[in-house]
Structure formats: structure tokens, C-alpha cells
């Protein structure tokens, strides 16, 4: 079983403390951690730590290189405009020799996918910001960027996170989750969220997830909106068998 974050914000947290935390988790998990990083989308987060929001992309590029340098057992030093690892040694090192693989979160923009191809070990897409059609186009474009970077397409993984899920046969329950919980938090239209996320009947959830399987999504990290343990049990009992049937047909 793999362990994964959704998205950590190395700029807001600081790449050095984040490297220390993720390195410790990797040791505790026996080297099973997959780390995912991104810039975040909240200007308020940046204001809280006194970092200009418009610096987030340049800082993210450097933060990823900082993480890799801090996990490098050979003592490689990274010096950038924002961060430097000179004189810093974080021990003990992660269990994985070169540190946890770093996946980069991107909604699928050209610039974001270029960053994924250039700096990442995998791509993490966002469930509420994509559809099977959009994912297909982005994955094809990412392949082009990976070729340009000289990376092996067959070994470059993908996944979808922020895939909120709530399985219920009661339409009022699913509408309540959409209108009272998700739409206000994400500031997105209810109709868009209803179309994209597996919130509703087991049949509806299976159809949405099977559609992603068919276009090349390798993993989906589900995020139950409530009753987490019970929702996972329902998912395994009711949705997984339906997905298996849909994939085979």
C-alpha cells in the first residue's frame, strides 16, 4: 500500500521544515511515502506568512529543487534566488535513497504541465478541476512535454486527488453535500460539482470513476465528505464491484 499526501505547500510551510517532516514520515512508513507539492491557490495563505502571492510559481520551482537537495545524501547544495541549502544538513535522511518521489499538483494548464514534466516524478490532477475529456487532453500534452525533457513515458505516474466522494441513494443527502458543504467552500457552481464528483448513488459514482479508468487515470485518492470510515466501507462494498463490471464491458 502506498502512502500519499494530497498537496503540501512548501512555500507557505517553508521547504526546510517540510523536508524534515516528510523525511520523518518516509522513515516511519518504511520508505512508502509519495510527496505531492503545489503552490496553493489562496492569496490569504501567502499573506499570513508574509510572502507575495505573485512569487508563488518561481518559489515553487526553487522549493522542489530545495527538497531534493536536502534529501541528497551526497551533500548536493542548491542556491537560488529565494532558497539555499548551503550549510544545512537534515538528518536522519528519508528511508528512500533519494528521498520520497515528488509529484506536482497541476490543474492541467500548459505552464503547470511543463513544470510537472520538468521537475516532478508524477502528476497529481484535481478531481473538481477536471473531467475525463480534460484529463485526456492534459495527459496527452504532458506526454509531449515529458518527451522534450527526455523522460520515460511508461514510468511516469498520474493520479487524481481532491476527489470528494459521498455515496448515498438519497438524492436529498447528495444535494445537501453539494449545496451546503462543497459549493460554499470551493466557490464553484453546484451543477459543475455534481457533474464532476462522485457524490450520489453507487451507480453514479461507479460511472464517473470508471470513465477516468478508461482514459488512463492510474489512481484516484478519494476524500469522503463525512462519515469517513463508513463511506469507505460503502465504497468498497457497493461501488468497486460496479466499477469492475463497467471496465470489463
Alpha carbons 10 and 17: distance in angstroms, whole number: 9
Rounded CA-CA distance 240/249 in Å is 15
**Blockwise average pLDDT, block size 10, the chain, 249 residues:** 66 96 95 94 92 96 97 92 94 94 94 96 95 97 96 91 95 96 93 96 96 94 94 96 81
Say what the pLDDT of residue 2 is.
Answer: 41
Distance CA 212, CA 206 (A): 10
CA distance linking residue 101 with residue 217, whole number of Å = 18
CA gap 108, 194 in Å, rounded = 20
Confidence at residue 249, expressed as pLDDT on a 0 to 100 scale? 67
How big is the CA angle at 224 (ends 211 and 164), to the nearest 5 degrees?
45
pLDDT of residue 29: 95
d(CA 228, CA 237): 14
Torsion of CA 48, 51, 52, 53, to 10 degrees: -60
According to DSSP, the β-strands at 33-37 and 3-4 are parallel
CB 167 within 8 A of CB 201: yes
Which pTM was predicted? 0.90
Amino acid at each position: 500500500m502506498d502512502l500519499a499526501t494530497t498537496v503540501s505547500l512548501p512555500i507557505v510551510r517553508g521547504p526546510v521544515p517540510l523536508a524534515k517532516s516528510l523525511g520523518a514520515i518516509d522513515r516511519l512508513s518504511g520508505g512508502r511515502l509519495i510527496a505531492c507539492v503545489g503552490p496553493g491557490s489562496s492569496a490569504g495563505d501567502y499573506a499570513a506568512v508574509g510572502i507575495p502571492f505573485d512569487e508563488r510559481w518561481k518559489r515553487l520551482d526553487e522549493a522542489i529543487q530545495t527538497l531534493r537537495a536536502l534529501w541528497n545524501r551526497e551533500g548536493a547544495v542548491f542556491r537560488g534566488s529565494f532558497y539555499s541549502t548551503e550549510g544545512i544538513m537534515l538528518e536522519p535522511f528519508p528511508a528512500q535513497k533519494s528521498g520520497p518521489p515528488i509529484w506536482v499538483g497541476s490543474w492541467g494548464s500548459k505552464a503547470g504541465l511543463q513544470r510537472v514534466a520538468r521537475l516532478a516524478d508524477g502528476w497529481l490532477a484535481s478531481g473538481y478541476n477536471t473531467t475525463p475529456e480534460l484529463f485526456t487532453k492534459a495527459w496527452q500534452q504532458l506526454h509531449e512535454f515529458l518527451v522534450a525533457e527526455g523522460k520515460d513515458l511508461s514510468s511516469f505516474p498520474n493520479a487524481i486527488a481532491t476527489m470528494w466522494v459521498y455515496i448515498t441513494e438519497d438524492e436529498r443527502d447528495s444535494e445537501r453535500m453539494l449545496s451546503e458543504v462543497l459549493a460554499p467552500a470551493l466557490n464553484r457552481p453546484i451543477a459543475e460539482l455534481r457533474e464532476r464528483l462522485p457524490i450520489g448513488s453507487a451507480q453514479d459514482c461507479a460511472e464517473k470513476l470508471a470513465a477516468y479508468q478508461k482514459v488512463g487515470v492510474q489512481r484516484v485518492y478519494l476524500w469522503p465528505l463525512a462519515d469517513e470510515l463508513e463511506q469507505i466501507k460503502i465504497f468498497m462494498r457497493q461501488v468497486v464491484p460496479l466499477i469492475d463490471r463497467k471496465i470489463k464491458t
